[in-house]
Structure 1
Amino acid sequence: MTRIPPGTRKALLTAHLVTSLGWLGIDLVLLTLGVAVLRGADPTVVYPVTALLGTALFAPLSVIVWLVGVVSALLTPWGLLRHRWVLVKLLITTVMVVLVLALLTPNLRAAGELGAALPARDRADLVIAPAVSTTLMVVATVLSTYKPWGRLRRAVPVATRRRPAVAGRRSA
């Protein structure tokens, strides 16, 4: 574990909080816009906005959240693979980033181009995706707050393992 000055640790924590809150905020905006279309808002107006938010803000921000989280974990006592809750957060965030980049962003672009011609099933997906993402962000926040499950099992370094006592010899 690398020790970092308290100011650097606080800066990393602040960056992680701000970027995560930005991700949550964009999720909620995308959810609101998706629901607005389902309730009758003009998709030719709403979907280009969602495409812009998804490509200009959401996709880059999701990568930044992941990077800042990994750097924070590596440089703080929590570690990346020391605690189960950190590992679960890493897995949740990694899956969400992949889904944002591979599925949601292209779907938002398509919605922006198609507007009112976007099929009903795809319109529902533009509500379901940010709803699921928002839920997972809340789960990640709960994990960060409560830090459940304890540490992952660590392998004992060879140098510190106890050697079995040999008959006739006292163990050190």
Structure 2
Amino acid sequence: MANQRTSRWRRVSLWLHVITSVGWMGQALAMASLLVLALTTGDSAVRAAATGMAEHVDHTLLAPLANASAFTGFMLASATPWGFFRHWWVLAKFAITVVQLHLGIFVLSAALGTAATTAAPTVPLAVGTALMASAIAYQAWLSVAKPWSRTPWTSAAARQRAASQPGAPRWLLATALAVPADIGLGLVVGFPAPLAEVVVLAARLVARQREQRAVTPGAEARAR
């Protein structure tokens, strides 16, 4: 019964990861379409409206979904034997997500805010949002295909410990509920507020470090 409950919570976490990732990609495509409209129209009113709508989509939908997608992905990696750095395809997804979050928050969002204020969208801005959607699609392919082999720096002892680790406890997988809580909070305060997600992820990463330091008795000897 306990395993069934754990599996149920894992499915909930995976479901949240899938729908938020699809939502992130969909909103990126919507923003790209609006920016292309703004760049190609000859009507200044349409240009201003399309750019403003793209900025609104980014602020109210894309940013919360991006945060939730990244959070659920990181939690699934940290709560299962997949880890972050044991497989090339997982490492590639992790790196792409970190880059996307950085560029989306500090580059694209800032540029989009300026474009909405001045009603002057740019081609690089439209290209950037299209590339964001393409990167998410590529990550989906990585999740399905799981290409390549293990990373070379994963020690035999670490692989032995990962294989012998039990499934994540129910309470850990249930923390995926931080996603709807933070999305609701963002709607109330008027801007993305991934507070619970950051706290939960930080706590899990600290706990994961402690777990990795606690070497299973005999694991290293068996690995040798």
TM-score (norm 1): 0.83
Deviates more, 1:133-142 or 1:92-101: 133-142
Query: Partner letter of residue 159 of structure 1?
Result: A
Deviation per CA, 1:93-130: give whole Å up to 9, x if none.
11001000001111111111111xx2xxx521221011
**SS of structure 1 residue aligned to 2:156:** coil
1:156 aligns with 2:156: yes
Asked if the contact 1:19/1:61 (under 8 Å) is kept, the reply is yes
Aligned partners of 2:221 and 2:9: how far apart in 1? Answer: 33
Query: Partner letter of residue 156 of structure 1?
Result: A
Query: Partner letter of residue 114 of structure 1?
Result: T
Q: Which 5+ residue runs of structure 1 have no aligned equivalent?
A: 163-172
Residue of structure 1 in register with 2:122 after alignment: 123
Aligned partners of 1:50 and 1:135: how far apart in 2? Answer: 18
Query: Partner letter of residue 143 of structure 1?
Result: L
Residue of structure 1 in register with 2:72 after alignment: 68
Deviation per CA, 1:54-106: give whole Å up to 9, x if none.
12222232122111100011112322222110110010111001000001111
1:93 aligns with 2:92: no
Aligned partners of 2:126 and 2:223: how far apart in 1? Answer: 54
Q: Relative to 1, partners in 2 of residues 1:151 and 1:161: Cα closer, same or farther, differing over 3 Å?
A: closer
Report runs of 4+ in structure 1 exceeding 4 Å deviation.
Answer: none
Deviation per CA, 1:29-51: give whole Å up to 9, x if none.
01110111122052211111111
Aligned partners of 1:29 and 1:142: how far apart in 2? Answer: 21
Residue of structure 1 in register with 2:20 after alignment: 19
Q: For this pair of structures, how many residues does the alignment match?
A: 155
After TM superposition, give the deviation of residue 160 of structure 1 in Å: 2.8
Residue of structure 2 in register with 1:166 after alignment: none
Asked if the contact 2:38/2:48 (under 8 Å) is kept, the reply is no
| Greater C-alpha radius of gyration | 1
1:7 aligns with 2:14: no
Residue of structure 2 in register with 1:140 after alignment: 139
Residue of structure 2 in register with 1:36 after alignment: 37
**SS of structure 2 residue aligned to 1:5:** helix
| RMSD of equivalent CA atoms | 1.8
Q: Which 5+ residue runs of structure 2 have no aligned equivalent?
A: 158-219
Q: Which has the higher helix share?
A: 2
